Structure 1
Amino acid sequence: MAETPVAENITLEDLRKKMEDFAKERDWEKYHSPRNLLLALIGEVGELSEIFQWKGEVPKGLSDWKEEEKVHLGEELSDVLLYLVRLSDICGVDLGKAALRKIGLNAIKYPKFDGSPL
C-alpha cells in the first residue's frame, strides 16, 4: 500500500516538486505538454462535477453526506489541484504568486460591501 504523505503545512511548491518527481519517476514528462495537462484537468473537473450532478443544492460542510462520499470528493478535488499545479509548473507560472495577484485585482474590481443600498 502506498504511503500517505503527512499533510502538515504543504505548500504549492511542495506539491509542484512532488508532481515533478512523480512524472520523472514514471517517464511521463514527455506526455505532460500544456495541452495534454489542460485536457486531463478538464476531465478531472468533469469527474468532480459528476459528484454534485444529481444532488441539487448541498449544505455547507456537507453534513448529510456519507463519509465515503466526502473521501471521494477529496480525491477528485485533489486530482483537479494536482493537475492545475502541474500545468502551471509546465507553463512556467508561479501559481501562488499568480493567485495572490488575482485576489488583489479582484479586490479592486469588486470593492468591499459598505452596507449601503445601490
Structure 2
Amino acid sequence: MAGEEGVTLESLRKKMADFARERDWDQFHSPRNLLLALVGEVGELSEIFQWKGEVPKGLLDWKEDEKEHLGEELSDVLLYLVRLSDICGVDLGRAALRKLELNALKYPVHLCKGSSRKHTHYSQANEDSDTSAPEGI
C-alpha cells in the first residue's frame, strides 16, 4: 500500500475492514467505540499544534520528523473516520460530496466570497433584502 497512487475512500474502507477482520476486532468496533477512538486521535492531532500559535501553510519551518508525526496523526483520524462510516453504513464519499453541494447553497459565492461569516449572516441578509422582491427573484 505504501506509495500507492490515488488512494480512494473505498480502498481504505476495504483495507480497514480486512485489517479488523484478520485480528477479530469487529467485535470491538461499535459506532460508540470507534467514535471515542476518533475523538482521542483528534486530541492527539490537536496536541501537535498546541502552543505553536498560528502555523503557516506548508509548515515550512517544521522539521521532517514533526511533519511525519503530523501525517501519522492525520492518518489515524482519517482511518477511524472511514471505519466509523463503514460500520454505520454511510458512504463517506457520497456524504462528503452531498455536504459540499449543501454548503454551496448555504454559502453562495456572490454573497460570501472573501468572508468568514457564518451562513446565517447571508441567509438573514437575503431575507432582509428580499422582503419587497417578488417570489422567485
User: What TM-score, normalized to structure 1?
Assistant: 0.92
2:32 corresponds to: 35
Q: Which runs of 5+ in 2 are unaligned?
A: 114-124, 126-137
Q: Which has the higher helix share?
A: 2
RMSD (Å) for aligned C-alpha atoms: 1.3
- Percent identity, please: 78
Equivalence map 1:14-53=2 (5 Å):
14-53=11-50
The amino acid of 1:30's aligned partner reads Q
2:82 corresponds to: 85
Q: Which runs of 5+ in 1 are unaligned?
A: none
Structure-1 separation of matches of 2:34 and 2:78: 12
1:102 aligns with 2:99: yes
Instruction: Spell out structure 1 runs of 4+ moving beyond 6 A.
Output: none
Structure-1 separation of matches of 2:105 and 2:83: 29
Q: Alpha carbons of 1:19 and 1:64: their partners in 2 closer, same or farther (altered >3 Å)?
A: same
- Aligned partner (choices 52, 55, 60) of residue 57 of structure 2: 60
Residues 36-86 of structure 1: per-residue CA shift (max 9 Å, x gap): 000000000000000000101011000000000000000000000000000
With CA pairs under 8 Å and 6+ residues apart, which has the higher RCO, 1 or 2? 1
The amino acid of 2:20's aligned partner reads A
The size of the alignment, in residue pairs, is 113
- Aligned partner (choices 6, 14, 17) of residue 9 of structure 1: 6
